[in-house]
Structure 1
Amino acid sequence: MDTSILLYEHGNSYLVYTRPNDHMNLKFHWLGDDGFGTPGCIYHFEANY
C-alpha cells in the first residue's frame, strides 16, 4: 500500500495528497513569519473530501 505524501507548492500554500486516497486533499496555508521569528508556521488547515 502506497502511503506516501506528496507536497505541491502553490503560492503560499502547500497541497498535500495522500495515497491511495487521492480524493482527500489536505491544504496547508503557511506564514513566512508568524511575527515571533518562527518561519513556516501553519495558521490555517483545510480538508477537502
Structure 2
Amino acid sequence: MGHWTENEWDWSLSLQWRRRLFAWEEELKGELISFLQQFRPKSEELD
C-alpha cells in the first residue's frame, strides 16, 4: 500500500514493491514453462 506524506497519498513505495514482485513472478513463470516443456510430447511423435 501507499503511505501518507504531508498532504498527499504517496504510491511510489507501493509501485516499486509491486514491480519487484511481478519481475520475480515473470522469471518464475519462465522457469516453470521451460520445465513443463520437457514433458510435452514432440509434434513428430504425435504423427
Give the structure-1-normalised TM-score: 0.25
- Name the one with the larger helix percent: 2
- Higher RCO (Cα < 8 Å, 6 or more apart): 1
Give the structure-2-normalised TM-score: 0.26
**Max radius of gyration: which structure?**
2
